[in-house]
A and B are shown apart, each in its own frame.
Chain A
């Protein structure tokens, strides 16, 4: 089951660039939350703050708090522990090129020291099924390299890899932006199914996508969260003029 996140007064910097300003946002459990906004608005930076990937950049800095259940992910636990519980799917598919499909999916557990083969087999199969990739790859799990799949398959492989460690929250940073329409549709179906089990945060520049998959939507602009509400409210009756301009395409 997923768990909700509570973001309070989050600020982030890249060097001297103040990328996020005072973000306050509740992310409900077992729902998909979409984050939209023009490029450079800070939405990607925001999700990277939710699993502490932001700080892997040496010039990056974060203040504020993100609570997951009862723990503050910035104070109570290490980044490694956070990332095990908050999985991430990146904009471009990034399977490990030297590993087979099986090894890619098993990597999160194996690299954390898990070695029970029987359970690994089960988890790999279940994760690939959950990522709707099982039927396409089940015959050459250990023969084919992850890099030999098509772009859409690679992205689903990355989703399966993220699911294998059974995270509570799944962050997706424009997961379909590098994919063709058919693969995009598959990924969207997937998100629709996965949100019963996981809390999903999806960054997208595609408003239709947000409308299709997410219960709630947040609109970012210039590092600020302008509006956060139920998706149908954002798209039919936004409370802020800037949101309306963006939704109706009257923006930049």
Chain B
């Protein structure tokens, strides 16, 4: 009896201790995870903000040895690349999402498309880079902004497709029936009723995809290639913010390091703003009206 009592007491202490230990460890790991983020952000803000100036947004890079200069060409270049990417990725992504949600339901083709979208989502960005290189750059025999945009656009597709599908499936069946019951053609009902009802969610997906590729560097290395000069020609190599950050970070010049930090800050602000917007939209439950 007594020994039994003893072990159960020890047991109870052990249980209590392990409970506290686990709680402590969980809290500790959370702190450990939050710390690098906070450190990175603070460092970025500190380094970036002290390097940012008006010239950063208006000037192009100066040659080595000269101070000043900016990344105006890289900012414009990134914008152009993202524009080309969106022009390719958004329509295809949304259309594929429409197919999955409205026409494909449970069919073999839909499963195939869904699987390949997941595969595409997992393709390492560097592999995307060399694939587009051998598909576009090699035949054309020169690097181009167009090739870079295509690489980014392809990378946007899976995210957009899967969110579009999810959001369309959230639109109540009754809404579709209402449209069909009025004798509205199916294509019109899908575009003007179902897609429109789901549009906040679909836009969210597009912004997520946009934020994801905005910072991509690897796919641009052998496609857009980078450019120290002004260029808005889709058929020529073009500068991009992430590419420029990469090149400057690995350079031996203090001045270029400064510009790299400033570029990183601009990039992060762009991304954080779009991710926050997405979160704002999704947590506000814009879709509520649809239920």
**Chain A contact residues, CB within 8 Å of chain B:** 51, 53, 56, 58, 79-85, 87-88, 90, 92, 94-98, 107-108, 111-112, 145, 147, 158, 161-162, 165
Contact = CB atoms under 8 A, between A and B. Distances in A.
Residue among A81, A88, A94 having the largest count of chain B Cβ atoms under 10 Å? A94
A192 to B, nearest CB: 22
Interface residues of B, number: 23
B279 interface: no
Contact of B189 (A82, A97, A111): A111
A87 B177 CA distance: 12
A251 to B, nearest CB: 30
Nearest to A107: B182
Nearest to B174: A94
A39 to B, nearest CB: 18
Nearest to B105: A58
Which 5 A-B residue pairings sit nearest by Cβ, starting from the closest? Answer: A84-B183, A83-B183, A108-B182, A94-B174, A88-B181
Contact of B193 (A53, A56, A58, A96): A96
A145 B199 CA distance: 16
20 contacts: A56-B177, A79-B180, A80-B183, A80-B185, A80-B186, A83-B182, A84-B182, A94-B174, A94-B175, A96-B175, A96-B193, A96-B197, A97-B197, A97-B289, A111-B185, A111-B189, A112-B183, A147-B289, A161-B178, A165-B182
Nearest to A56: B180
A51 B197 CA distance: 25
B109 interface: no
A56 B181 CA distance: 10
Contact of B197 (A79, A92, A98): A98
B188 interface: yes
Residue among A51, A79, A82, A96 having the largest count of chain B Cβ atoms under 10 Å? A96
B118 to A, nearest CB: 25
A88 B188 CA distance: 18
Contacts of A80: 183-186
Contacts of A112: 182-185, 188
Nearest to B186: A80
B10 interface: no
Residue among B181, B186, B189, B289 having the largest count of chain A Cβ atoms under 10 Å? B181
A145 B105 CA distance: 30
